[in-house]
Protein backbone atom coordinates (compact mmCIF):
# COMPACT_ATOMS: atom_id res chain seq x y z
CA UNK A 1 0.00 0.00 0.00
CA UNK A 2 2.95 2.33 0.48
CA UNK A 3 3.43 2.25 -3.29
CA UNK A 4 0.08 4.05 -3.63
CA UNK A 5 1.41 6.91 -1.52
CA UNK A 6 4.71 7.01 -3.41
CA UNK A 7 2.82 7.22 -6.69
CA UNK A 8 0.64 10.04 -5.38
CA UNK A 9 3.68 11.93 -4.12
CA UNK A 10 5.52 11.53 -7.41
CA UNK A 11 2.66 12.96 -9.47
CA UNK A 12 2.32 15.73 -6.89
CA UNK A 13 5.67 17.04 -8.17
CA UNK A 14 3.72 18.01 -11.29
CA UNK A 15 0.64 19.18 -9.32
CA UNK A 16 -1.26 16.38 -11.03
CA UNK A 17 -4.08 14.85 -8.91
CA UNK A 18 -4.94 11.18 -9.45
CA UNK A 19 -8.18 9.24 -9.24
CA UNK A 20 -8.53 6.09 -7.18
CA UNK A 21 -8.71 4.06 -10.40
CA UNK A 22 -5.43 5.54 -11.60
CA UNK A 23 -3.76 4.79 -8.28
CA UNK A 24 -4.97 1.20 -8.51
CA UNK A 25 -3.57 0.77 -12.02
CA UNK A 26 -0.29 2.61 -11.51
CA UNK A 27 0.53 1.00 -8.15
CA UNK A 28 -0.58 -2.46 -9.29
CA UNK A 29 -3.28 -2.93 -6.65
CA UNK A 30 -5.12 -6.23 -7.03
CA UNK A 31 -8.89 -6.62 -6.73
CA UNK A 32 -8.65 -8.15 -3.27
CA UNK A 33 -6.55 -5.16 -2.11
CA UNK A 34 -8.92 -2.52 -3.43
CA UNK A 35 -11.00 -2.10 -0.28
CA UNK A 36 -7.87 -1.85 1.85
CA UNK A 37 -6.52 0.89 -0.43
CA UNK A 38 -9.79 2.83 -0.35
CA UNK A 39 -9.84 2.65 3.44
CA UNK A 40 -6.24 3.85 3.58
CA UNK A 41 -7.02 6.83 1.33
CA UNK A 42 -10.07 7.69 3.43
CA UNK A 43 -7.96 7.55 6.58
CA UNK A 44 -5.26 9.78 5.07
CA UNK A 45 -7.93 12.30 4.01
CA UNK A 46 -9.44 12.22 7.50
CA UNK A 47 -6.03 12.92 9.03
CA UNK A 48 -5.48 15.83 6.65
CA UNK A 49 -2.41 14.22 5.06
CA UNK A 50 -3.95 14.20 1.59
CA UNK A 51 -6.96 15.90 -0.03
CA UNK A 52 -9.82 14.64 -2.14
CA UNK A 53 -11.87 16.81 -4.47
CA UNK A 54 -14.30 15.69 -7.20
CA UNK A 55 -12.87 12.17 -7.08
CA UNK A 56 -9.22 13.27 -7.35
CA UNK A 57 -6.57 12.78 -4.65
CA UNK A 58 -3.67 15.17 -4.14
CA UNK A 59 -1.37 16.81 -1.60
CA UNK A 60 -1.90 20.31 -0.24
CA UNK A 61 -4.80 22.73 -0.28
CA UNK A 62 -5.00 23.69 -3.95
CA UNK A 63 -8.34 22.48 -5.33
CA UNK A 64 -7.50 24.40 -8.51
CA UNK A 65 -5.06 21.61 -9.34
CA UNK A 66 -8.08 19.46 -10.21
CA UNK A 67 -9.47 22.07 -12.59
CA UNK A 68 -6.05 22.53 -14.21
CA UNK A 69 -5.74 18.80 -14.69
CA UNK A 70 -9.18 18.49 -16.31
CA UNK A 71 -8.45 21.45 -18.62
CA UNK A 72 -5.07 19.92 -19.50
CA UNK A 73 -6.67 16.56 -20.26
CA UNK A 74 -9.10 18.19 -22.68
CA UNK A 75 -6.30 20.15 -24.33
CA UNK A 76 -4.25 16.97 -24.68
CA UNK A 77 -6.90 15.36 -26.87
CA UNK A 78 -6.38 18.01 -29.54
CA UNK A 79 -2.60 17.93 -29.16
CA UNK A 80 -2.60 14.16 -29.56
CA UNK A 81 -4.22 14.50 -32.99
CA UNK A 82 -1.39 16.85 -33.97
CA UNK A 83 1.21 14.40 -32.62
CA UNK A 84 -0.24 11.57 -34.68
CA UNK A 85 0.01 13.66 -37.85
CA UNK A 86 3.66 14.42 -37.20
CA UNK A 87 4.31 10.79 -36.32
CA UNK A 88 3.29 9.81 -39.86
CA UNK A 89 5.88 12.26 -41.18
CA UNK A 90 8.60 10.89 -38.90
CA UNK A 91 7.71 7.29 -39.75
CA UNK A 92 8.40 8.05 -43.43
CA UNK A 93 12.02 9.00 -42.75
CA UNK A 94 14.74 6.44 -43.45
CA UNK A 95 15.80 4.21 -40.54
CA UNK A 96 13.02 5.33 -38.15
CA UNK A 97 11.91 2.10 -36.46
CA UNK A 98 9.64 3.47 -33.74
CA UNK A 99 8.03 6.73 -32.66
CA UNK A 100 6.64 7.34 -29.18
CA UNK A 101 5.10 10.34 -27.47
CA UNK A 102 6.81 11.14 -24.17
CA UNK A 103 6.63 13.97 -21.66
CA UNK A 104 3.37 15.33 -20.26
CA UNK A 105 1.30 14.47 -23.34
CA UNK A 106 2.02 10.76 -22.81
CA UNK A 107 0.27 11.15 -19.44
CA UNK A 108 -2.76 12.69 -21.11
CA UNK A 109 -1.99 16.28 -20.14
CA UNK A 110 -1.01 19.40 -22.07
CA UNK A 111 -0.35 22.88 -20.69
CA UNK A 112 -1.05 25.79 -23.09
CA UNK A 113 2.64 26.24 -23.93
CA UNK A 114 3.81 22.59 -23.86
CA UNK A 115 5.87 21.16 -26.69
CA UNK A 116 5.16 17.67 -28.04
CA UNK A 117 8.08 15.44 -27.03
CA UNK A 118 9.04 12.36 -29.01
CA UNK A 119 11.13 9.31 -28.18
CA UNK A 120 12.52 7.88 -31.44
CA UNK A 121 14.04 4.47 -32.13
CA UNK A 122 16.29 4.02 -35.17
CA UNK A 123 18.18 1.29 -36.99
CA UNK A 124 21.61 0.46 -35.54
CA UNK A 125 24.46 2.65 -36.84
CA UNK A 126 22.07 5.11 -38.45
CA UNK A 127 20.88 7.11 -35.41
CA UNK A 128 22.81 10.29 -36.22
CA UNK A 129 21.90 10.24 -39.88
CA UNK A 130 18.23 9.86 -38.90
CA UNK A 131 18.44 12.64 -36.35
CA UNK A 132 20.17 14.94 -38.84
CA UNK A 133 17.48 14.37 -41.47
CA UNK A 134 14.69 15.03 -38.97
CA UNK A 135 16.46 18.14 -37.65
CA UNK A 136 16.91 19.42 -41.21
CA UNK A 137 13.19 18.92 -41.84
CA UNK A 138 12.36 20.85 -38.67
CA UNK A 139 14.66 23.74 -39.54
CA UNK A 140 13.44 24.09 -43.13
CA UNK A 141 9.73 23.28 -42.94
CA UNK A 142 8.90 24.13 -39.31
CA UNK A 143 11.23 27.15 -39.02
CA UNK A 144 13.06 25.29 -36.23
CA UNK A 145 9.94 25.28 -34.04
CA UNK A 146 9.88 22.80 -31.15
CA UNK A 147 6.15 23.25 -30.58
CA UNK A 148 4.99 20.13 -32.44
CA UNK A 149 8.35 18.51 -33.14
CA UNK A 150 10.54 18.25 -30.05
CA UNK A 151 12.92 15.36 -30.80
CA UNK A 152 15.10 15.12 -27.73
CA UNK A 153 15.64 11.38 -27.18
CA UNK A 154 16.93 8.79 -29.67
CA UNK A 155 18.11 5.21 -29.18
CA UNK A 156 18.74 2.43 -31.67
CA UNK A 157 17.13 -1.00 -31.67
CA UNK A 158 20.21 -2.66 -30.15
CA UNK A 159 20.26 -0.36 -27.13
CA UNK A 160 16.70 -0.24 -25.85
CA UNK A 161 17.71 -0.93 -22.23
CA UNK A 162 17.89 2.35 -20.29
CA UNK A 163 20.80 2.47 -17.84
CA UNK A 164 19.38 4.86 -15.23
CA UNK A 165 16.81 3.02 -13.15
CA UNK A 166 14.68 5.20 -10.90
CA UNK A 167 11.08 6.37 -10.67
CA UNK A 168 11.60 9.14 -13.20
CA UNK A 169 12.93 6.85 -15.95
CA UNK A 170 10.43 4.10 -15.03
CA UNK A 171 7.56 6.58 -15.40
CA UNK A 172 8.80 7.91 -18.72
CA UNK A 173 9.17 4.37 -20.11
CA UNK A 174 5.91 3.01 -18.75
CA UNK A 175 3.99 5.99 -20.11
CA UNK A 176 5.62 6.04 -23.56
CA UNK A 177 2.68 6.27 -25.94
CA UNK A 178 3.39 4.27 -29.11
CA UNK A 179 2.34 5.97 -32.33
CA UNK A 180 4.50 4.03 -34.79
CA UNK A 181 5.51 0.35 -34.59
CA UNK A 182 3.90 -1.62 -31.76
CA UNK A 183 6.57 -4.34 -31.95
CA UNK A 184 9.29 -1.88 -30.93
CA UNK A 185 7.09 -0.80 -28.02
CA UNK A 186 6.93 -4.38 -26.77
CA UNK A 187 10.70 -4.71 -27.15
CA UNK A 188 11.27 -1.61 -25.02
CA UNK A 189 9.08 -3.01 -22.24
CA UNK A 190 10.87 -6.38 -22.38
CA UNK A 191 14.34 -4.84 -22.35
CA UNK A 192 13.40 -2.69 -19.33
CA UNK A 193 11.62 -5.23 -17.18
CA UNK A 194 12.86 -3.39 -14.06
CA UNK A 195 10.12 -0.78 -14.54
CA UNK A 196 7.73 -3.37 -13.05
CA UNK A 197 9.28 -2.55 -9.68
CA UNK A 198 7.48 0.79 -10.01
CA UNK A 199 4.58 0.04 -12.34
CA UNK A 200 3.81 -3.68 -11.88
CA UNK A 201 1.06 -3.89 -14.50
CA UNK A 202 0.68 -0.53 -16.22
CA UNK A 203 1.86 0.32 -19.72
CA UNK A 204 0.31 2.28 -22.55
CA UNK A 205 -1.85 0.52 -25.11
CA UNK A 206 -1.54 0.71 -28.87
CA UNK A 207 -4.74 2.60 -29.56
CA UNK A 208 -2.85 5.37 -31.38
CA UNK A 209 -0.28 3.25 -33.17
CA UNK A 210 0.29 2.81 -36.89
CA UNK A 211 2.59 0.21 -38.40
CA UNK A 212 2.47 1.54 -41.94
CA UNK A 213 5.39 3.22 -43.67
CA UNK A 214 5.57 4.40 -47.29
CA UNK A 215 7.22 2.16 -49.89
CA UNK A 216 9.79 4.81 -50.83
CA UNK A 217 11.23 4.61 -47.32
CA UNK A 218 12.88 1.27 -48.13
CA UNK A 219 14.34 2.72 -51.31
CA UNK A 220 15.83 5.65 -49.40
CA UNK A 221 17.34 3.28 -46.83
CA UNK A 222 19.08 1.29 -49.55
CA UNK A 223 20.92 4.45 -50.62
CA UNK A 224 22.69 4.59 -47.25
CA UNK A 225 23.03 0.90 -46.36
CA UNK A 226 26.65 0.84 -47.47
CA UNK A 227 30.11 2.18 -46.67
CA UNK A 228 29.10 5.68 -47.67
CA UNK A 229 26.33 5.55 -45.09
CA UNK A 230 28.76 4.31 -42.44
CA UNK A 231 31.17 7.17 -43.15
CA UNK A 232 28.37 9.74 -43.12
CA UNK A 233 27.01 8.39 -39.84
CA UNK A 234 30.43 8.66 -38.16
CA UNK A 235 30.96 12.19 -39.47
CA UNK A 236 27.52 13.39 -38.37
CA UNK A 237 28.12 11.93 -34.89
CA UNK A 238 31.41 13.81 -34.49
CA UNK A 239 30.02 17.05 -35.88
CA UNK A 240 26.81 16.94 -33.83
CA UNK A 241 28.64 16.11 -30.62
CA UNK A 242 30.97 19.09 -31.15
CA UNK A 243 28.12 21.47 -31.95
CA UNK A 244 26.09 20.45 -28.89
CA UNK A 245 29.10 20.70 -26.56
CA UNK A 246 29.97 24.14 -27.91
CA UNK A 247 26.39 25.35 -27.55
CA UNK A 248 26.43 24.37 -23.88
CA UNK A 249 30.03 25.28 -23.11
CA UNK A 250 28.83 27.17 -20.03
CA UNK A 251 28.20 23.76 -18.39
CA UNK A 252 31.10 21.97 -16.73
CA UNK A 253 31.64 18.28 -17.55
CA UNK A 254 29.58 17.03 -14.59
CA UNK A 255 26.67 19.33 -15.43
CA UNK A 256 26.86 18.45 -19.10
CA UNK A 257 26.86 14.75 -18.28
CA UNK A 258 23.72 15.13 -16.17
CA UNK A 259 21.89 16.82 -19.05
CA UNK A 260 23.10 14.89 -22.06
CA UNK A 261 24.01 11.41 -23.20
CA UNK A 262 25.77 11.60 -26.57
CA UNK A 263 26.80 8.21 -27.87
CA UNK A 264 26.82 6.51 -31.28
CA UNK A 265 23.71 4.59 -30.19
CA UNK A 266 21.91 7.20 -28.03
CA UNK A 267 21.22 10.86 -27.59
CA UNK A 268 19.44 12.19 -24.52
CA UNK A 269 18.91 15.90 -24.81
CA UNK A 270 17.53 17.43 -21.60
CA UNK A 271 19.51 20.65 -21.04
CA UNK A 272 17.32 21.88 -18.16
CA UNK A 273 18.41 18.96 -15.88
CA UNK A 274 14.80 17.79 -15.77
CA UNK A 275 15.45 14.41 -14.18
CA UNK A 276 17.59 15.88 -11.40
CA UNK A 277 15.01 18.55 -10.53
CA UNK A 278 12.08 16.15 -10.54
CA UNK A 279 13.77 13.48 -8.44
CA UNK A 280 14.95 16.10 -5.95
CA UNK A 281 11.38 17.40 -5.57
CA UNK A 282 10.06 13.84 -5.27
CA UNK A 283 12.44 12.92 -2.44
CA UNK A 284 11.53 16.17 -0.73
CA UNK A 285 7.88 15.07 -0.89
CA UNK A 286 8.76 11.64 0.50
CA UNK A 287 10.74 13.08 3.41
CA UNK A 288 8.02 15.59 4.28
CA UNK A 289 5.30 12.94 4.21
CA UNK A 290 7.38 10.59 6.34
CA UNK A 291 7.66 13.25 9.04
CA UNK A 292 3.94 13.98 8.94
CA UNK A 293 2.68 10.40 8.82
CA UNK A 294 5.35 8.31 10.51
CA UNK A 295 5.37 5.96 7.51
CA UNK A 296 8.66 4.74 6.05
CA UNK A 297 8.56 5.61 2.37
CA UNK A 298 12.15 6.21 1.32
CA UNK A 299 13.68 2.99 2.59
CA UNK A 300 10.51 0.90 2.86
CA UNK A 301 10.98 -1.26 -0.24
CA UNK A 302 13.72 0.38 -2.28
CA UNK A 303 11.29 1.27 -5.08
CA UNK A 304 11.64 5.03 -4.83
Which pLDDT score is estimated for 273?
79
- For the chain, the domains span 2-62+277-293, 76-271
Which pLDDT score is estimated for 274?
85
Alpha carbon distances (Å) from 19 to 56, 127, 177, 190, 200: 5, 39, 20, 28, 18
pTM of the model: 0.93
Which pLDDT score is estimated for 288?
96
Which pLDDT score is estimated for 303?
59
CB-neighbour burial class of residue 195 (10 A; exposed 0-12, middle 13-18, buried 19+): buried
Alpha carbon distances (Å) from 96 to 21, 154, 175, 216, 253: 35, 10, 20, 13, 31
Going by the DSSP 8-state scheme, the letter that residue 105 receives in this structure is: G
* Separation of alpha carbons 254 and 232, rounded Å: 29
Residues in the chain: 304
- As assigned by CATH, the class of the 2-62+277-293 domain is mainly alpha
pLDDT tens for the chain, residues 1 to 304? 899 999 999 999 999 999 999 999 999 999 999 999 999 999 999 999 999 999 999 999 889 999 999 999 999 999 999 999 999 999 999 999 999 999 999 999 999 999 999 999 999 999 999 999 999 999 999 999 989 999 989 999 999 999 889 999 999 999 999 999 999 999 999 999 999 999 999 999 888 999 888 889 999 999 999 999 999 999 999 999 999 999 999 989 988 888 899 999 999 987 667 888 999 999 999 999 999 999 999 975 445 6
Which pLDDT score is estimated for 242?
96
Which pLDDT score is estimated for 302?
47
Sequence-distant (≥ 6) Cβ neighbours of residue 43 within 8 angstroms? none
Which pLDDT score is estimated for 4?
97
Amino acid sequence: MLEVIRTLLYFDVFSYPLTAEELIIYAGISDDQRQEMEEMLEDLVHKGLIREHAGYYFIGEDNEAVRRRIDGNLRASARLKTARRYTKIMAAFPFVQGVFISGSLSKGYAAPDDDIDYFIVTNPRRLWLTRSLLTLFKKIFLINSHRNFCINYFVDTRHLAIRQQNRFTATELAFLLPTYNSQVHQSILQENGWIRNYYPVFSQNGAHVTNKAPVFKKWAERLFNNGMGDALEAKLFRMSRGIIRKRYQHLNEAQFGSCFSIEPHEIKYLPNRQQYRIMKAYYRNLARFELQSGLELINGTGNN
